[in-house]
């Protein structure tokens, strides 16, 4: 079933608030992405009018080589859908399929000052890492992100900590537009469903799961069963507590945390009790965790593969998403052109 966001709603029904977020097409999501971000999106789709976009244009600022772009875009779409994002409930689309993004980006560029863009932390980091490719798109990255958000006049933007400065800039540019040309845009706010985002600890006891750090300490949704078992069995443990009810060292706490995400309450209770009376056997605990992890990840992985193998289905999903996003974009851009004064007859 397709929900027609703007036109089929009963006039007495309260308009749903609008959520928008962008997903980098870097592919290969891990457990941290799942519990930290995607699960939030999946909950939001029930209550909000959601626009979730694959940020393929943004990736051109840092990845001019596009050989892998198609595969990456397909994978990130498939992974998000396999995790529960429903293309019938949300607008799931690619940034480059909504051309009015580029038009709004152009107008917003006239409202963004070089000085403030140069001060952006992510810009400075990228300049430092890659001094031979300091292109204008990199400088105006937050302007493009603003265009993505306010193109749908979104009020809420679920993002991680690393995007907070960009979101702050989006508020600045939206307000500047409103002051200069008239109220068109709401002020976009950061938003998360559960107050606190779940941080999924890595398997080596150091920090959280991450794409860039120790690969063996991060569980990917694409990992094969044997790989999952191998990674879990390598998790750091020790010879166990010697005093009843002793506090847990971080790396042990992490194993319990991971278990809490994927194992049943009974299993949790058993190992908590074993820990507290010093009879815990970490080998058994990790075996249990590994099997529960396999039970959790394998269906998602298989689902991703099935979605990826159905190229026609993927095309349809992208078209359906682009249609919804373009409809919303057209409505906003009419208001934008009029507000600016680009209307001569
Ligand atoms: N910049 C975001 C990131 O790197 C991705 C993104 C692009 C985005 N456009 C957006 C996020 C709009 C939220 C809203 O993760």
The pLDDT score that the predictor gives to residue 196 is: 66
pLDDT of 14 above 80: no
Tens-digit pLDDT profile for residues 92-137: 999 999 999 999 999 999 999 999 999 999 999 999 999 999 999 9
SS (H, E, C) the chain: CCCCCCCCCCCCCCCCCEEEEEECCCCCCEHHHHHHHHHHHHHHHHHCEEEEEECHHHHHHHCCCCCCHHHHHHHHHHHHHHCCCCCCCCEEEEHHHCCHHHHHHHHHHCCCCHHHHHCCHHHHHHHHHCHHHCCHHHHCHHHHHHHHHHCCCCCEECCCHHHHHHHHHHHHHHHHHHHHHCCCCCCCEECCCCCCCCCCECCCCCCECCCCCCHHHCCECCCCHHHHHHHHHCCCCCCCCCCCCCCCCHHHHHHHHHHHHHCCHHHHHHHHHHHHCCCCCHHHHHHHHHHHHHHHHHHHHHHHHHHHHCHHHHHHHHHHHHHHHHHHHHHHHHHHHHHHCCCCC
Judge if the beta carbon of residue 24 lies within 6 A of ligand 1.
Answer: yes
Tens-digit pLDDT profile for residues 194-234: 666 678 999 988 889 988 778 899 999 999 999 999 999 99
The pLDDT score that the predictor gives to residue 219 is: 97
**Distance (Å) from CA 244 to ligand 1 centroid:** 47
**Distance (Å) from CA 192 to ligand 1 centroid:** 15
The pLDDT score that the predictor gives to residue 26 is: 86
The percent of residues in the chain predicted with pLDDT above 70, rounded, is 94
Confidence of residue 327 (pLDDT cuts 50, 70, 90): very high
Judge if the beta carbon of residue 54 lies within 6 A of ligand 1.
Answer: no
Tens-digit pLDDT profile for residues 258-307: 999 999 999 999 999 999 999 999 999 999 999 999 999 999 999 999 99
Judge if the beta carbon of residue 232 lies within 6 A of ligand 1.
Answer: no
Q: Which residue has the higher pLDDT, 300 or 13?
A: 300
**Distance (Å) from CA 23 to ligand 1 centroid:** 6
The pLDDT score that the predictor gives to residue 8 is: 47
**Distance (Å) from CA 93 to ligand 1 centroid:** 13
Domains and CATH numbers, the chain: 18-191+310-340 (3.40.50.620), 215-304 (1.10.240.10)
Q: What residues are labeled active site? A: 126, 208, 211
Judge if the beta carbon of residue 304 lies within 6 A of ligand 1.
Answer: no
- Pocket test of ligand 1: the residue of 22, 57, 126 to mutate, having most ligand atoms within 8 Å of its CB, is 22
| The overall pTM is greater than 0.75 | yes
Judge if the beta carbon of residue 49 lies within 6 A of ligand 1.
Answer: no
């Amino acid at each position: 079933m397709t929900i027609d966001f703007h036109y089929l709603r009963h006039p007495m029904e309260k308009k749903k608030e609008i959520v928008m977020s962008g997903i980098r097409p870097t592919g290969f999501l891990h457990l941290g992405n799942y519990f930290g971000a995607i699960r939030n999106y999946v909950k939001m789709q029930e209550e909000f009018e959601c626009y979730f976009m694959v940020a393929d244009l943004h990736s051109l600022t840092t990845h001019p080589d596009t050989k892998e772009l198609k595969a990456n875009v397909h994978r990130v779409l498939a992974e998000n859908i396999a995790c529960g994002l429903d293309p019938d409930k949300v607008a799931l689309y690619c940034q480059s399929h909504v051309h009015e993004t580029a038009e709004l980006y152009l107008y917003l560029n006239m409202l963004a000052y070089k000085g403030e863009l140069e001060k952006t932390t992510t810009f400075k980091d990228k300049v430092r890492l890659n001094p031979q490719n300091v292109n204008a798109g990199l400088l105006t990255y937050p302007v493009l992100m603003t265009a993505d958000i306010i193109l749908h006049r979104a009020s809420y933007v679920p993002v991680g900590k690393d995007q907070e400065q960009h979101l702050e800039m989006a508020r600045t540019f939206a307000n500047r537009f409103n002051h200069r040309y008239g109220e068109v845009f709401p002020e976009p706010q950061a938003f998360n469903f559960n107050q606190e985002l779940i941080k999924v600890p890595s398997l080596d006891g150091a920090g959280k799961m991450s794409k860039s750090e120790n690969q063996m300490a991060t569980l990917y949704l694409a990992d094969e069963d044997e790989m999952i078992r191998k990674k879990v069995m390598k998790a750091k443990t020790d010879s166990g507590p010697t005093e009843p009810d002793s506090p847990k060292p971080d790396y042990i706490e992490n194993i319990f945390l991971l278990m809490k995400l994927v194992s049943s309450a009974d299993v949790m209770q058993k190992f908590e009790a074993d820990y507290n009376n010093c009879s815990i056997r970490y080998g058994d605990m990790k075996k249990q965790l590994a099997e529960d992890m396999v039970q959790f990840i394998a269906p998602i992985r298989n689902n991703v593969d099935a979605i990826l193998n159905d190229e026609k289905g993927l095309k349809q999903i992208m078209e359906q998403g682009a249609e919804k996003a373009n409809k919303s974009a057209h409505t906003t851009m009419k208001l934008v052109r009029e507000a600016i004064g680009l209307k001569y007859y």
